[in-house]
Structure 1
Amino acid sequence: MHDLERTLSHGVVQHDLPTAEEPTFPQLTQAGSHTDAYLETSPSGLVLAREAEAPVASHRHGSQSTLVSARQHHGVAADVEKGAAAHGDDAKLVTWKVDDLENPRNFSTAKKWVQTLLPTLLCFMAGLSSSLITGGLPEMAEHYNVSEEVITLTVCVFVVGFGLGPLLLSPLSEMYGRRIVYIVSVFLYFIWTLPGCITDSVAVLVIFRFLAGCSISGVMCNAAGSIGDVWHVNERGFPMALFSGILFISPCLGPLLGGYITIRASWRWMWWVLFIFGGVVWVFTSLTLVETYAPTLLKWRAQKLRKETGDPTIVTEQERQGRPLAEIAHETLLRPLVMLATEPVMMCMSGYLCLVYGLLYAFFFAYPIVFMGHGFDAGQVGLCFLSILIGIALTSVTAIPLQERYYQRQVVKHQGHPPPEARLPLMMACAVVLPVSLFIFAATSIPSVHWAGPLVSGIPFGFALVGIYTAANTYIAVTFSDYSASAMAAKTLARSMCGAGVTMFIVPMYKSIGNLWAGMTWAFISLAMTPIPFVFFFYGAQIRGRSAMASAS
């Protein structure tokens, strides 16, 4: 936090707010820069808008101005004037009261953990659903009388949905709250999964699989925000580490569970398990999940106060500075694409995320090819993914804590404002480990070499996978702190398209050039990308300085 700017007469302390640290702030649906009305408290629960906004207009640039609209050239002053015209100079912003029990940050520790574990459970279900059916793809292809490439579409289109869904669902959560997005997303996923249990048409299966992927992506783009809603910045370390681990643990468990379900029951039961699990989780979360998004909660309070008092000037910051729907659509759909095409940081870091995400989904198909060559069945192939889980666990208990210790030293060194590059040492180390793991996997993947070689290679791969993802993801968010919602949508779209594309060519690739050179291809690609985090660590400040959207520090 920067030094305090000023204290308002109503008791709200005004800060220069780091939006990178606070997912509470609406970015896609609010036009002006943020006050701290969503976070701070006041005795009455109300503060004069002109007082809250004055320091922002004076001290902050128009960081929330739109990329694709003329509003970008007017800055914050125009946004504040527009809000004042709409609600009058005497508009009052709703804030939390002191020790407000409805404030998610004031929940009991037990309630905070419940509201953290529920979105994490939903993400576990989403990740599991993306890969569980890989345990029975050959049997499915035989039943539907189609090629392996055609049946692989059931995985491909689901991951495509992961990338496209957030473009629509991210602004909806800002407009209507997180809980309704969770409940509707999971319910639609539950419905769209049913055809897989009963249909005999592969076309129907693929279509509804795509719809299921789009729907369940709503939980993926909201879970991190939900954790930020209830935990303060200095409390989020372990909850976020748990959430990040689940993102990779659940897909790795999918082939294991799917393989044994297919062996012990039938491939149809993979779909029934997903359907039943989705229904149970939907009922459970519908009953226990509460709204935690501060702008939505305060909006509900403002509506109640307007109704009780008849005072139309009681509003939230989001209501006062809201964007038109057409502008929200432009922000949501165009800015991520522009960032991917014009920002060097986004290109390189998203490219690295595409690599690790693509490798994860490539292994869902490469592992069966390699290990079935040693006589493994589908269940035993699934067990091989446990080596990747060991690597993920090692990263969580060793490398990530070391990275956090380094980062805290940089916080002190830079007086509370470390550069984004302070997040990169973990990625630098893992960028070296990744090609080593892939070279080991490639060299030992031929049938004449003992299966222990490719099995053990999964440990350093899992280690590098989570380390690179965590560091690159954080670096993107901090670098584009003023546009973090668009940045997250951009990297999610890119990585999902890559992960989906890999599933379609990985099997033909192994068949065409063999296990050794198929694996070597990925190893050489990862080796070529190794310098990326080192370049940004040493020259990131200069690169960001030439960017139109990256933060200067």
Structure 2
Amino acid sequence: MSPSPEKATMVDFQGDHPQDWPATQKWILMATIAVPLFLMPLSSTITTPAVNDIATEFHITSTITGPLALSLFLLTYSMGPILLGPLSELYGRWPVLQAGTLFYLAFDLGAGFCTSMTQLLIFRLLSGVGASASLAVGASIVGDVFRKEERGLPVALVSLGPVLGSCLGPIVGGFIADYTSWRWAFWSTSLAAGGFLILCFLVGRETYAPVLLLRKKAELIAEAKRQGNSEGRVWRTPFEKDETVGQLYRRTISRSLYFLATQPIIQALACYYGYLYGILLGSLDNTHWDAALHRALYRVPIGAQICAFVTDRVYRYQVCRNDGVGRAEFRLPIMVPASLLVPIGLVIYGWSAEYKTHWIVPDIGIALPLMGATIIFQCCTSYLLDTFPVYAASANGAVYIVRGFTGFGFPLFSPEMYAKLGYGWGNTLLALLALVIGCPIPFILWRYGERLRAASNFADQAK
């Protein structure tokens, strides 16, 4: 027979919630998590300029095998959060992040010593799994430590890293390929990963509220036992449910797939996020972007900065208009103009490249979709954090499932598409799909988002 409710002791925060921590401590954590969020996407594309050197050394003649070194990493990098995101909700953010980074370090270092293309592809596949740990927990840490009205700048920080890292990867890889061996592409990123692990050891601190309360509960039980007054008492946290460890494990691990199958909000954002990510990676693998892309990289932070400083102002303004009541949909207005930048930029770049116009035109054409995608990624992350605060890692993991498939597939088919359609019609097709897939989403969620959240058993859970 279970104890009476009077004997149950509820363990909760008392001014020590991560959102109550000093701002300095929060930003130290943000600066720390920004390192792998930049490093891992850079590692994904750093091999692009060395594809020919790798193929020559390993006597590879297939035009598909080379790009697989990029696509296989991206596949497991984006699919890894299916497992690691829910695990972070079971064991905590930092243990998963540190273990994943160590796993990445081992196989990334091994890739630099491989003696065949088969070994390289296997090492890239496995290193992508470890690299995905930062992707699984990065945005969730923001939701852990920052309140809704404070998330604009930190979300910009964690969203900028993957975009900037993916863009800078080919540049860094090209420099390495020109002046050293392609193997240093792996050794250099391994050294950086090792430095990050040391940084984690020095400043890392758990942020996930349910795990922190479980630790607090264990300390209280131990203290009660030492004092001899634990007899007949039950200790619980607000997040615990009556289930076995096995049931908890199965429920947690399957949550991302369940979200993708059942939550319309996640399904809509996953399609748009995945499509934009596929465009970005497919374009980065296209060497004709190089000159304009290098110049456009300086515009990427502009999109992040715009979203960082505007999104919180827009959110607070909407809250004031709504009698002080916040809604997740207040993250969506800035997504509307950003969703138009993508197709406009693709059309400008496609036809200016087709007719070989002055460099400023394709420069603008590339900069616009990069800025638009950066803002949209941030809006999607913020919306998911507000909608699924306790299960943010699983929600983002569900989005990354679709992102993984598009990141894997686009670099493989985009060269063939451009070869057959040309830059003009190829990018026009991508622009039309962006209009059809993405532009209606902010309007649909603005109108029906609150109703969809009310129908979900996982949305708007208390922190």
SS of residue paired to 1:425: coil
Task: Tell me which residue corresponds to 2:161.
Answer: 246
Q: Which runs of 5+ in 1 are unaligned?
A: 1-83, 372-380
Residues 340 and 439 in structure 2, CA contact (< 8 A), matched pair in contact too: no
Task: Tell me which residue corresponds to 1:307.
Answer: 222
Residues 252 and 388 in structure 1, CA contact (< 8 A), matched pair in contact too: no
Deviation at 1:460, TM superposition (A): 1.0
SS of residue paired to 2:103: helix
* Larger deviation, residues 243-252 vs 387-396: 387-396
Task: Give the 3 Å change call, closer, same or farther, for CA 302–239 of structure 1 in structure 2.
Answer: same
Task: Tell me which residue corresponds to 2:11.
Answer: 94
Task: Tell me which residue corresponds to 1:135.
Answer: 49
* Larger deviation, residues 522-531 vs 333-342: 333-342
Please tell me the root mean square deviation across aligned C-alpha atoms, in Å: 3.0
C-alpha distance in 1 between matches for 2:363 and 2:3: 63
Deviations 1:224-252 (A, max 9, x none): 23233333444433222222222311211
Task: Tell me which residue corresponds to 2:101.
Answer: 186
Amino acid of the structure 2 residue aligned with 1:432: L
Deviation at 1:399, TM superposition (A): 4.9
Q: Which runs of 5+ in 2 are unaligned?
A: none
C-alpha distance in 2 between matches for 1:87 and 1:116: 43
* Larger deviation, residues 472-481 vs 354-363: 472-481
Task: Give the 3 Å change call, closer, same or farther, for CA 413–518 of structure 1 in structure 2.
Answer: same
Rg larger in 1 or in 2?
1
Amino acid of the structure 2 residue aligned with 1:161: T
Determine whether 1:414 maps to 2:361: no
Q: Taking structure 1 as the reference length, what is the TM-score of the superposition? A: 0.74
Query: Which has the larger share of helix?
Result: 2
Amino acid of the structure 2 residue aligned with 1:111: Q
C-alpha distance in 1 between matches for 2:355 and 2:179: 27
Deviation at 1:547, TM superposition (A): 5.3
Task: Give the 3 Å change call, closer, same or farther, for CA 202–87 of structure 1 in structure 2.
Answer: farther
Task: Give the 3 Å change call, closer, same or farther, for CA 281–418 of structure 1 in structure 2.
Answer: closer
Task: Tell me which residue corresponds to 1:258.
Answer: 173
Deviations 1:488-519 (A, max 9, x none): 22111111221111122122222333333322
Deviations 1:96-136 (A, max 9, x none): 455x5xx6445444333222211111211112112112232
Task: Tell me which residue corresponds to 1:515.
Answer: 423
Task: Give the 3 Å change call, closer, same or farther, for CA 428–317 of structure 1 in structure 2.
Answer: same
Q: Counterparts of 1:323-402 in structure 2 under 5 Å?
A: 323-332=243-252, 334-366=254-286, 368=287, 370-371=288-289, 381=290, 384-402=292-310
Deviation at 1:185, TM superposition (A): 1.0
Aligned residues with identical type, % of pairs: 26
C-alpha distance in 2 between matches for 1:552 and 1:171: 18
C-alpha distance in 1 between matches for 2:378 and 2:128: 23
Determine whether 1:166 maps to 2:78: no
Determine whether 1:85 maps to 2:5: no
C-alpha distance in 2 between matches for 1:322 and 1:385: 54
Task: Tell me which residue corresponds to 1:436.
Answer: 344
Q: Counterparts of 1:52-71 in structure 2 under 5 Å?
A: none
C-alpha distance in 1 between matches for 2:324 and 2:248: 33
Deviation at 1:532, TM superposition (A): 1.4
Determine whether 1:225 maps to 2:225: no
C-alpha distance in 2 between matches for 1:408 and 1:459: 29
The higher relative CO (CA closer than 8 Å, separation ≥ 6) is in: 2
Task: Give the 3 Å change call, closer, same or farther, for CA 505–543 of structure 1 in structure 2.
Answer: farther
Residues 135 and 257 in structure 1, CA contact (< 8 A), matched pair in contact too: no
C-alpha distance in 1 between matches for 2:3 and 2:113: 54
Deviation at 1:530, TM superposition (A): 4.8
Task: Tell me which residue corresponds to 2:119.
Answer: 204
SS of residue paired to 1:85: coil
Count of residues in correspondence between the two structures: 455
Residues 161 and 213 in structure 1, CA contact (< 8 A), matched pair in contact too: yes
C-alpha distance in 2 between matches for 1:253 and 1:395: 16
Task: Give the 3 Å change call, closer, same or farther, for CA 327–86 of structure 1 in structure 2.
Answer: farther
